Structure 1
Amino acid sequence: MKGLIIREPWIGMILDGCKTWELRTQHTTTRGEIALIRKGSSQIVGVADLVDSLPPLDRKGLAESVQFHRVPPAEQESALANGWLFPWLIVNARRLSTPVPYLHPNGAVTWVNLDPDTSQSIARARQATRAEPGLVPLKTPSQSAIVHSGLAVDAGVASARGPDRNGGLGAKISPALEAELVATADRLGVRVKALRSDTTKMRSFTVPSRAGDQIVLVHRDARSTSHVQIFLAPALDGRVAHEIAGIPGVQRYVNAKTNDHRMRHSAFHVFKEPQPIGEPFGHGWLLDQHRAGELFGKLVEIIRGK
């Protein structure tokens, strides 16, 4: 297990669930559960999931994404000058019931490779926690922020830009929201396919089920700021539609052009099912954005049981 060294006040904000972007000076390829080390204390105070590393922010992106990184305006010039512009997405933070001491190696300033004994101590501290939460709810700003490639823009600004070529608003799924879905998938043992690029429109999740692996696609190029689009293979949809429709906060996606539940997209070839002439399609659902992690988890559990 690896431990990430974070100074105050940032580590406290992460543990409180109000900070999901930890700004660093470079990308990281590390993913999965990490330990949270309070700088200068030689103690591990929590654990969390590091789920992604975003492109660097520019001045505007830094200013417009405060709700994720929490760097106040007065400190942003310093962040720009020192290159603290690479957001690492950290979610599902949990405090340990008792801080775990560790031996700090000389020269370690970012990561610490923890020995097996320390990792076991962390596991015991987690078990001793009286009420370990599941996913930490992500703070949602009063006006939905839509984030793409590290730049956050107000939903009203996105709307003013007009529809994109697919008839949507041109707004992208928030990385903080996407991180919540990825963390939910990781918690439930669902495989998450890496993105080919920051502009990839579909995020693929593979859910193990009784009938074999099932693909769930999340549309990253969201049409609505209030919902997240989920698409299933038609055969799978036929088996689970009745149960999914019974989840409060989930509704059917309706294709305005065809007046059905399909969305045609070249990415749907991953379903590997017979398709009509033209681009393949999947059957769609809309999840309430404010409960997306919870609702996605329920959808996964339904699929897993089929």
Structure 2
Amino acid sequence: MKGLIIRDPWIGMILDGTKTWELRTQHTTLRGEIALIRKGSSQIVGVADLVDSLPRLDQHGLAESVQFHRVPPAEQASALANGWLFPWLIVNARPLSTPVPYLHPNGAVTWLNLDPNTSQSIARARQTSRGEPSQEAVKAPSQPAIIRSVQAFKTNGDVVRELDRDSGPGSKISPALEAELVATADRLGVKVKPLGSNTTKMRSFIVPSRAGDHVVLLNRMARSTSHFQVFLAPALDGRVANSIAGIPGVQRFVNASTHDHRMRHSAFRAFKEPQPVGEPFGHGWLLDQHRAGELFSKLVEIIRNK
């Protein structure tokens, strides 16, 4: 297990869920569970999931995404000057019930490898999982600032080319839209599965409910500019379809070739349901990207209550 060194006050914001972007000076390819180390304390104070490394921000993008990185306007000039412009998307933060001490190696300033004994101590100190989100937590902004920040990115060709390159070959969904959905999931207590690579076609969200955990797949290759696609397991879809269809801004996905609601894709084996002969399928929905957080929250709450 690796530990990430983060100074105050940023580490406190990550632990309480108010900060999901940790700004760094370069990208990272690391994904998965990490330990959170408070700088200068020689203590591990929590664990979290590093699920993505987003494209470099420009001045406008930095200013428009304060709700994610929490850097106040007065400190943004310093962040620009020092190159703290690469957001690492860190979610599912879990404070430890008791901080775990470790031996800090000389020269370690960002990452360090934790020995097995320390990793075992972290496992013993894990705090119980967070409870149900409050009603306040599900209120997402109707016009996410992060969507506007992507529009700010598009003011010059160089930045657009950088976004295309960093998003991975063939990836069509906006990195900022995806970040908004991941941050919304974190606020709702929904598990976000790290991507295998930047070219992964589907991102998995695990929604807990009274009937068990349910998988929601986000289509990262969606080509629509006004909507994004999510897919549910067929059995779940059958139980919640009427409720979801009643949400303004949500509509059924229709396959242009077959004129039904099926989309064939090998990623649907993630649903782990008995499948008919042939490639698995799943039922999909289109959600208005300009109300991304709000609509995704409503979809999650419907699933959670089933």
TM-score per shorter chain, which class?
0.5 to 0.7
1:24 aligned residue: 24
Q: 1:173 aligns with which of 172, 177, 181?
A: 177
CA distances 1:218-239 after superposition (whole Å, capped 9, x unpaired): 25566667xx53136xxx63x5
2:239 aligned residue: 243
Letter in 2 for 1:68: F
Shift in Å at residue 57 of structure 1? 0.5
Shift in Å at residue 286 of structure 1? 4.9
1:45 aligned residue: 45
Q: What secondary structure is seen at the aligned counterpart in 1 of 2:177?
A: coil
CA distances 1:78-126 after superposition (whole Å, capped 9, x unpaired): 1111110000000011111111100000000001110001100100001
Letter in 2 for 1:109: V
- Residue 8 of structure 2 contacts residue 38 of structure 2 at CA under 8 Å; is this kept in 1? yes
Gaps of 5+ in 2: 153-173, 207-214, 270-276
Q: Structure 1 residues 215, 6: CA separation in 2 closer, same or farther (over 3 Å shift)?
A: closer
Q: Distance in 2 between matches of 1:7 and 1:145?
A: 26
- Residue 145 of structure 1 contacts residue 174 of structure 1 at CA under 8 Å; is this kept in 2? no
Q: Distance in 2 between matches of 1:246 and 1:103?
A: 55
CA distances 1:173-214 after superposition (whole Å, capped 9, x unpaired): 2413136669999958x6845333xxx9x535599xxxxxx9
Q: What secondary structure is seen at the aligned counterpart in 2 of 1:44?
A: strand
2:198 aligned residue: 195
Q: Structure 1 residues 222, 3: CA separation in 2 closer, same or farther (over 3 Å shift)?
A: farther
- Residue 43 of structure 1 contacts residue 101 of structure 1 at CA under 8 Å; is this kept in 2? yes
Equivalent pairs counted in the alignment come to: 260
1:66 aligned residue: 66
Q: How high is the TM-score relative to the length of structure 2?
A: 0.66
Q: Structure 1 residues 217, 10: CA separation in 2 closer, same or farther (over 3 Å shift)?
A: closer
CA distances 1:26-71 after superposition (whole Å, capped 9, x unpaired): 1111111101000000001111000000111111111111111011
Q: What secondary structure is seen at the aligned counterpart in 2 of 1:48?
A: strand
Q: Structure 1 residues 283, 261: CA separation in 2 closer, same or farther (over 3 Å shift)?
A: farther
1:218 aligned residue: 219
Q: Distance in 2 between matches of 1:171 and 1:187?
A: 19
Q: Distance in 2 between matches of 1:6 and 1:70?
A: 14
CA distances 1:147-171 after superposition (whole Å, capped 9, x unpaired): 49xx4459xxxxxxxxxxxxxxx99
Q: Distance in 2 between matches of 1:245 and 1:171?
A: 28
Q: Distance in 2 between matches of 1:30 and 1:171?
A: 17
2:167 aligned residue: none
Q: What secondary structure is seen at the aligned counterpart in 2 of 1:173?
A: helix
Q: How high is the TM-score relative to the length of structure 1?
A: 0.66
Letter in 2 for 1:176: E
Q: Structure 1 residues 2, 257: CA separation in 2 closer, same or farther (over 3 Å shift)?
A: closer
- Residue 147 of structure 1 contacts residue 174 of structure 1 at CA under 8 Å; is this kept in 2? no
- Residue 190 of structure 2 contacts residue 205 of structure 2 at CA under 8 Å; is this kept in 1? no
2:57 aligned residue: 57
For the aligned residue pairs, the C-alpha RMSD in angstroms reads 4.6
2:87 aligned residue: 87
- Residue 51 of structure 1 contacts residue 182 of structure 1 at CA under 8 Å; is this kept in 2? no
Letter in 2 for 1:242: G
Give % identity.
55
Shift in Å at residue 241 of structure 1? 3.3
Q: Distance in 2 between matches of 1:40 and 1:59?
A: 30
2:108 aligned residue: 108
1:163 aligned residue: none
2:35 aligned residue: 35
2:140 aligned residue: 140
Q: What secondary structure is seen at the aligned counterpart in 1 of 2:62?
A: helix
Q: What secondary structure is seen at the aligned counterpart in 2 of 1:91?
A: strand
